[in-house]
Each structure stands twice: as C-alpha cells, then as structure tokens.
Chains A and B, each alone.
Chain A
C-alpha cells in the first residue's frame, strides 16, 4: 500500500499523454461551463507530459522536432478543433506536383516515381488494384465501425496475419494471380511505416479495423493524398505545442508528475488508486494509456477478469492487454545544410520508401521532407537556423536489430543508404557537423523508455481481436479506458488520443462519478 497523503477526488486519470489531458480538459471545461463539478487529478508516471508525443530540440539547429506523434489530416476534426481553439501554427508536408519520389526494392534497385502520375507506384496498376481490394474490405469493416468483429469474414481475417493476406492474395486478385512482386514490396513498406511492425506480426482484421477508423487504407498509406492523408499536416512548433496548450488550460495542480500508479482497487462504493507516494480515493478511474502499457506495473484489485458485474468486459480486456504489443520505431531527423533532395534530377519531394533485403546494412524504411516552412509563422518565436530536416524511420525487425548499435552507426547507415538511393554524396556531405553539443542527427526509440513499449501504437497478433468484442473501449466496472487505440475515429493517431480521452470523460460524467 502507498504511504503518505490520502486525497479524495471524483475522477483519477492515469496517464498524462494527449488522451489523459483531453479527458481532463473535457471535465474541466464542463466545470467552467457550470455543467458538472467533477474534481479530478491526472497522474503521470514520468517527468514530462505528452506520452507518445515528444517534441525535442536540436540545439543551435532546429527547435521543434517531433520524436513521436507529429502528423494529422485535415479530417482529424478533434485535432483541427484544438488547432483553432488554441491558435496553433500548422505546416504542410512538402508535396509539390511534378516532382519525383523514390522506392528502393529488396534487391537494392531504385525506382523513380512521379508524384503527379497516379499510376506511378511500384507495381503500377497491380498496386492500384490491390489498394482497391484492401479498401473494399475496409468498407465492410467500417460498415460496423463500432463492432469490427462482426464484419464480413471477420474470423477468417483475424486468423490471418497481414503476411497471410499477401500469401492468399490470389483469391482477391482480378487475374487470380499472386500479388505482383513490386506490389508486395510496396504494401510491406506501407505496413511497416504505418505500424512499425512486420506483416507477419499483425492480425489482418486488426489492420482493416485500423484502416476503417482512419477512413481507408489509401488514406493511411498514401502520402500523396495531400491534406486528406494521415501525413499531410503537422504543427510547425511541434505536437508538444498541443500538449502545452492542453496542460495550460487545466487548473493549477491538476496534473501530478512522477506519480506511477501501482494499484487500482475497485469496490462497490468507489476506487482507490495507489502510487508509490500516495493514495487517491475516487468514484471512477480513466486509464489513458496504450492497452499494453497499462498492464505494465499496474495491479488491478480485483483482477479485471474477476470484477463483479463486469462480465465479460473484464475478461476480454485482460485478453486484449495480454496479447497487445507495441510497434517499434527508431524515428530520427537528419539535419542538412540544404534540402539537397529537392534538387536531385528534376526535383524530388524527399518522400523515400525502402525495403532493402539486407537490413543489417540498409535499415531505412521511410524518409520524408521535414523542412520547416510554415505559411504564417509566429513572429514571436525564432526561425530555426537550420530548417532542412529529413525525417527517417527504422522500424519493425530493423529497429530491433539496429537498437543494439550506436547512434553514429545508425546515422552513417541512413546517410549512406540515402546517398545510394539518390545517387549523390550530398546525403552524406551536406549533413551539418554532428557534435555532442549540437547533434545533427536526433533520434528516439520509445521502446523500453519508462513504461513505454514502443511507438506509434498497440497492435494485435492474429486470433485475438475477433474474440474480444468491444474490449478496446468498454469500461470494466468503475474503470474506463481511453488511449488512442480505443478511439472510434483515427485510432492510433493523435486525433484518436483526443477523441478517446473525451469519450471516456463523457462516459464517466454520463454514468455518474460517485
């Protein structure tokens, strides 16, 4: 049991990520409007807020680099509403028409593709047909948005991993043929960059569910969709701006840092939340973390599966959190003197996808132009002296392997691979001097940092999802669940974090905090 002070509040929110802050914000705004008077605290285990949103500074180069969640689409209404409400400054991803992008195949061969030619994908029309198949299957899952497990062929698709779908693609191919090899590679890269995991790890039903809550697989995977695509827009001063704005809107003292929750005890009359240093008694608890991360270090008493009156939600939740795993990504930024890729050949967008078979030498999955150039910057804030960033991702199996090497090895491998792909030493030579005081390669791997299992989001292996209907979001007794994965729209994205936090707070208010 915890020692020290005992505090009584109506609602305890576990986790100071976007989701927990959004839950707190809704409770506070309702109080300000005189519509409820639920008291609350946010307990954050770490020493900072934001969870999987983390904006870092490259001293002397670039002030706002998002090492976690960064991008959103203009149809992410919860994010866009916050952008409006707090007057945040946005920047668009650099995607001019008439430029090229590059794709490195498993063989090392490089394809040059045109951003304004709709057939210009690896695999061409085969890939467009595969996208149409995926999105038709996504439509069927989206038809029962809140019950993906009752969608057409749900059991089959949950028995399959994404790799099994690829292997069985002949069933869906108009020609009755296996997936075109370039299409397979393009799809594999898109799965890796979307989920930071390998196709054989992820349930195919879970992938369809994820795409359904995004809108379509094409929107999730195709950056060329512009503002509608999931990577079309970002905050010019980092997603940390949104975290700071939400935090700033909360009453003083509502957020407690360094409060790692150890135990959540549920009784008939209420709950007790125990941290190392204190005890909180409350009517309801909102657990606002990724499903897998919540199960790390928090004891539920009684166990969720044995919560009286919460059958079968408690058992399903336990199954879900027991099976969920996090994607893994080493997200980095290379800071260059010039945006050299924009001048290669007839001009390139910097969008670069790679699936080199030799991942021990060529770790890159995806790179994207991240040059700072907001249309209307905030005059009160400095302009980054070196805004020419290229964002890089090492994900899935490559992340596991490369995590054991040094930062310098990863930096050099990424630069060499980019030099290879673009056929120019600029990718190596244009990098700013990389010193301990002023690094020109910044990176972050959430895996194993504090309670984080990884980034961007929790995933399910085959043969779990269809068996646990509603488990992503259903409350268990007095414990409610937020976290981006539980969102109805844009699960796994920042928008999902906001939506799910608000939904959990509304749930708590609707059901009564006592």
Chain B
C-alpha cells in the first residue's frame, strides 16, 4: 500500500506568499501541508550573516516597506517584531548626480527632481493616470485609455508626452528622462523601455499613486530591525511550522500535481502521496510553467494555460545591492542625507540609487558598525557591472560616493575589512529584492487572465506578489496575495462558522506589541499644497 497524507490544503512554494497562505489557513483552523523545493522558507528574504555581528541585520533581498502597508504592519504587531526607519532627515539635502556629473541638490522635505516644473508636471500626470487606472483595481486592462497606454513602454509614452508640452525643449527633456529613469530603476531595477506603461500605472495605483512608489518616505520608509529573515523566523515560530503546527516538506521535488474532480493529489519524490481538497501554488509566476500539473477537466486546463501565458511575460528587474560601512555619518555634517539618485553612464559610475541604511542615532541596540550606506546598482547598471570583479565594483562605488558625499568618504571607511558587502556574495542574490516587470501590450492582450489571476482554477489557487491588487510586487503584495489565496481556499472548504475559543486567531494576537506607526510625511503629494 502506498502511504497517503490527507490534508485540507497543500501549499506549494515556501516564499512569503506561501507562508502568508499557510497562516491564513491555520487561522481558519484548516489542516495544511507546505511543500517547497527550496531548503529555506522565505527565500526572498536574505539577511547577510557575514555582517550580522558587526552591523546588525543587513538585507540583501526584500527590505523596505511603508507604515502605510497594513499586512506588513499587522505582522509586525502580532509577531512583536521591531522596525527601523530609513534615515531621511528633512533638514538635509538629497543629491541627484546627473549623466554629465553635475550634482543637483534637493531640499530633504520636498521632492524636487531635475527638470523642475516639467518634472513636477510629469509626476502630476503619472499620479492622475495611476489614480484613473486604479479606479477598478482588478481590471487595469479595462481602464479608460487602457489600450492606448498599454501600446507604450514608459520610454515611448514619455516621449509622446513631451511632444504635447510646449516647454519641453531638448535640455529639459533630457533632465526629466534622467529623473524618471532613476526613479523607476529604484522601484523596478529595470529600464524605461522594458516597462509597459499600463503596467507601471497599475503598479503605482496598487501602492496608492505613482508618487508613493518612487519617493523614499513612501515605499522605502522602514525595514525590519532584525532583517527580513526575522519575519520568516517569526512565521515559523508563530505557526509552529514543522513542529507543533503545519508540517513542512523542504528541499523536495514535486513530481506530479493531479487536479481531479474530487481533490488535488501531489506526488513528491520519495514521500507519501498528498491528497488535499485544494492546492495553492505560491511564488513567482516564472516557476509556474515548470509545475508538472495535469487537469481532469479540459476547461480548467485551458484556464491554467491562460495564466501560464501571462506568467511567461513576467520578467524581473536586476539589482546588485552593495553596502558600504563608515565610522561616522559624516554626510550629515555636510548637510546631506545619504539619499542619492544617479544617472552616469554605467561605466562612469555604477550607482543607480542609495539610501542611508544607518541605525538611528543613539539606538539602544545599535551594533558596533551602525553607519551604512546602501548602494544599488540597478537595471542597466547591474547588467554592466555584474561581469566585473567584486574589487572593481567596490572601488567604483566608493569613488562615486566620494564625488557625491565628499572627500571624507574614503577616510571614514571602517578599517577592519568589513567596509563592503554585496548581494552577489550570496548565490542568487541579484534576483531577490527587485520587482517584477511586465512589458507593453501584455495586460490588454492577456487581460482576462490577469483579472482572474487572484482567483482559482478549479481547486487550484495562486499566490504571487506579481499583480497583487495592493502594493503589487512588494513584500506587502506578497503577504496580501498569500492571505487572499489562503482565506479563499479556507472559505471554499466550508469552514466551520465559529472559531475555537482561544484558538489560532486569539493566539496570534496574544501579547500583540504595543506600537504606534511611525509618523510619515506624505511623499510627492502636497508638494505644492501651499502654492496660492
């Protein structure tokens, strides 16, 4: 007799969406088995072990989030994690290093991009369009002007927009192009010609507006103090994964998934057959085509094929994240934040954007090396610099910081050999931490698959941060997508109506951390609110 494991739901994929789906099912008091080909759970979350002792947690994968994100905040509260705010003092300036090497300074409390009034107007236009596309959050492909927008990449759309602006001379166009390219590299790790215009607007709408995406006080405002891995660890502990809670099969190979009219069977190499009422495929769409799944019903098979067609269109941004460690936050004395956008030719400067990754001054748990600048070699910069040596990248990053933050950059480097860390030090490191990217024409062509992306194919649900209705592409989107898939599966199982007294929902809230959201400034919005 073949061994059989019976569960209500099997979740395939142990990344953040998978963990969130398992949690939703556990809270609904359903039995669930988590199956993952990876050895670790939450593979998008990579906290550098090499720097843990000296610098505290430094994240090479998913890092930043916003206190306006409610799923992440709920995890923080329930799991009693701590956060650290990105150091963005409003009385210091941030710097844009233009292609020609000119340094453009902007006051810290405002977002003044190179290109002046024309750049402002472009942000307004993108905000308006993202609000328009977001009016029906699940159907961007049916928004007003969707076909026209989707015919463009961001690059081609902005050129057409320039042509409609009377003041868009060649100089201003060039500056605004650099502003937009730098902003979107920070979000996507991709170039303007790679990103579909309608996709960009949907992505912005899912975060609220375009402005909230690109401005540090929006999507980059906070991170987990003990790193993104602390979130994964807290999931494992809170759910008792693999111990007293749902079982986990890690590092296994899924050989077959059979969707039957009566349930879903999952065959894992060398392990008992899993018989579940429902299944959830969690994780990046790029992995879905490899899933060996069969359907008993041809109609369902064709629905799945439509989702795969969409999945094949999802690309990933590229980002080499490099951390540089200093003895002091010397930039503050120069009246600067360590926030930089840069658009040098890649060979002339590897940095696309930076943020101050330091611990807040006087933090009681601050490590011995609290002053760090996170430098990101994104999009074309990652492509150019990936093939160079680590030593080359280190030297080029430090040389560029020196030009921007001043000559003290080199003097203030820590001198114990722990002054530079990059995610290429970690296998697979350049993939994690960047956003999914979809090109022009895809959403309107495959719109119906997109509309249904969060819905089930028969007994099969999907959970991916790609195209999440809320904060698409981000940690928040991953938590949202997982919670959505899990709650929908639980509901489809005819969940018993009454929760068990003192059961999982109650236990999740036990000792919920007393914590207020950090005060946030409004990014982009309100820039001109006092203009009469």
User: Which residues of A are at the interface with B, using a C-beta cutoff of 8 A?
Assistant: 30, 35, 74-75, 77-78, 80-81, 83-85, 87-90, 118-119, 125, 128-133, 135-140, 142-146, 150-156, 170-176, 215-216, 219, 222, 224-228, 375-376, 378-380, 488, 499, 502-503, 506, 509-510
Contact = CB atoms under 8 A, between A and B. Distances in A.
B399 to A, nearest CB: 39
Nearest to A499: B135
Contacts of B70: 135, 138-139, 142, 215-216, 219
B530 A376 contact: yes
Contacts, number: 196
Given A132-B77, A225-B516, A81 B525 contact: yes
A133 B509 contact: yes
A83 B145 CA distance: 25
B500 interface: yes
A129 B532 contact: no
Interface stretch (B195-203, B360-368, B482-490): B482-490
With most chain B CB atoms within 10 A of its CB, the pick from A137, A143, A222, A225 is: A143
B137 interface: yes
Contacts of B506: 133, 171-174, 176
Interface stretch (B87-95, B126-134, B272-280): B126-134
A225 B483 contact: no
22 contacts: A35-B144, A74-B525, A88-B529, A90-B526, A129-B512, A133-B505, A136-B509, A140-B487, A146-B469, A151-B487, A152-B491, A153-B28, A174-B509, A175-B502, A176-B502, A216-B73, A227-B522, A228-B67, A228-B68, A379-B532, A502-B135, A503-B135
B68 A75 contact: yes
Contacts of B237: none
B501 A176 contact: yes
Contacts of A502: 131-132, 135
A142 B479 CA distance: 12
Contacts of B509: 129-130, 132-133, 136, 172, 174
Contacts of A30: 144
A136 B77 CA distance: 10
Contacts of A176: 501-502, 506
Nearest to A379: B532
B71 interface: yes
Interface string B138-160: 10001111000000000000000
A125 B77 CA distance: 12
A146 B508 contact: no
B503 A171 contact: yes
Contact of B127 (A81, A128, A135): A81
A456 to B, nearest CB: 22
A506 B77 contact: no
A77 B525 contact: yes
B517 interface: yes
7 smallest CB-CB distances across A and B, nearest first, come from A132-B512, A174-B510, A176-B502, A74-B522, A143-B484, A80-B525, A132-B509
B480 A143 contact: yes
B78 A171 contact: no
Given A74-B522, A87-B528, A228-B67, A131 B73 contact: no
A30 B143 CA distance: 13
Nearest to B481: A143
Nearest to B500: A171
Nearest to B529: A83
Contacts of A154: 491
Contacts of B500: 171
B499 interface: yes
Contacts of B165: none
A80 B517 CA distance: 20
Contacts of A510: 142-144
Contacts of B387: none
A167 to B, nearest CB: 13
Contacts of A376: 530
Contacts of B519: 226-228
Nearest to B136: A503
Contacts of B512: 128-129, 131-132
Interface in B283-342: none
A132 B508 contact: yes
A129 B505 contact: no
B132 A136 contact: no
Contacts of B137: 145-146, 488
Contact of A80 (B24, B470, B505, B522): B522
B43 interface: no
A225 B67 CA distance: 10
B491 A228 contact: no
A88 B532 CA distance: 8
A379 B530 CA distance: 11
A150 B67 contact: no
Contacts of B480: 142-143
B499 to A, nearest CB: 5
B495 A152 contact: yes
A176 B503 CA distance: 9
Contacts of B528: 84, 87
Contacts of B484: 143-144
B261 interface: no
B244 interface: no
Interface string B105-135: 0000000000000000000100110011001
A375 B526 CA distance: 13
Contacts of B532: 87, 378-380
A90 B143 contact: no
A128 B136 contact: no
Contact of B144 (A77, A132, A171, A506): A506
Given A143-B483, A151-B487, A132 B131 contact: no
A140 B74 contact: no
B347 interface: no
B498 interface: yes
A140 B28 CA distance: 10
B53 interface: no
Given A172-B506, A215-B68, A155 B516 contact: no
A2 to B, nearest CB: 33
Given A90-B529, A143-B484, A144-B487, 8 more contacts: A77-B209, A135-B77, A142-B70, A142-B470, A171-B501, A172-B499, A224-B516, A228-B520
